[in-house]
Amino acid sequence: MERQWTPHQEEVKQHFIDARGAWKWSAMWDTILELDAEIVDAYADYSSVAEKREVLDIKMRKLICVAIDSVTGCLNANGLKNHMKHSLQLGISVREILETLEITSMVGTCSYALGMPLLYEACLNRGICLAGMELDDRQKALKKEYMETHDGYWTVEKENILRIDPDYFETFSRFENVPWKSGSLSPKEKELLYIAVHAAPVTLHQSELKHHIDRALECGATWKEIAEVFEIVSTLGIHAITMGVPILKEAITEVEAAGTVVNKQ
């Protein structure tokens, strides 16, 4: 049975479709509209700033959405599929979408990069100075190779990882280079995707974010383009609503079916 909307709800739904496109509307938004039309109305404007301004082209905007919906800690399968379908419909290639997923998968190293300094500190408090361990010839060679292929880039985090586990360092370095060796996206597009991934609310890796901002600027990105990446990524918070409200509706239905009156005010 087709839902009956109030005039205000009909107006909000049309406003959303005008701002975000009919492709974005789904049964999930019907449920949210039913419970709170105002949040739908406000999100339509909030989430379409980048769409209206078009500082970044449509391909870049869609790939950023694919990246942040697939980043570990978010894994929004419904949103991810929706953005992938829209990307394919726009002519974005399968290779470009795959490359975006490969770049996004690099965020896994944040666990190591964030945890290692804490391990160093905890060991030092117990009289074990990991930082005092000298690099051997193999480790020095790995460091030299990495810096030569990354325009001199090096951090204390990477030194810490290399010192503790050169095998891990070497294998991850190879893993993270795959999109750069075989990918079809430009260096600038890659850096903008890295910015999106590291700025995502489920990541927030500041040192890597700073590095990729610098790299993006060097690759020709403008500050307006980078700011627009942040604007797109910030809308990730809507998942609390898009995932939570349908579950809330199910909970309401189940509680009411059990004979309890639910306070909806």
In this prediction, residue 135 carries a pLDDT of 95
d(CA 231, CA 196): 10
Beta strands in the chain (DSSP E): none
Q: pLDDT value at position 262?
A: 72
Distance of alpha carbon 14 from alpha carbon 8, whole angstroms: 10
CA distance 52 to 20: 10
pLDDT at 182: 74
Q: Please tell me the predicted confidence (pLDDT) of residue 95.
A: 85
User: Whose CA is closest to 61, among 17, 21, 25?
Assistant: 21
At 166 the pLDDT is 92
What φ, ψ does residue 106 adopt, rounded to 5°? -65, -20
| Spatial CA neighbour of 246 closest among 16, 38, 5, 31 | 31
Unique residue bearing structure tokens 């999109």: 179
Written as six digits, the tokens of 240 are 């609390």
- Report the pLDDT value the prediction gives residue 265, as an integer from 0 to 100: 65
pLDDT of the chain, 265 residues: tens digit per residue: 567 899 999 999 999 999 988 888 888 899 999 988 999 999 999 988 888 888 899 999 999 988 888 877 776 777 888 888 889 998 999 889 988 888 888 777 777 777 788 888 888 999 999 989 999 999 999 999 999 988 898 888 888 889 988 998 898 888 888 888 877 899 999 999 988 888 887 777 788 888 889 989 999 999 999 988 988 888 888 877 887 888 888 888 888 888 887 777 6
Residue 11 has a CB neighbour count (10 Å cut-off) of: 13
- pLDDT of 15 reads 95
What are the structural domain ranges in the chain?
111-166
Rounded Cα distance between 26 and 9, Å, is: 15
Instruction: Specify the pLDDT at position 79.
Output: 81
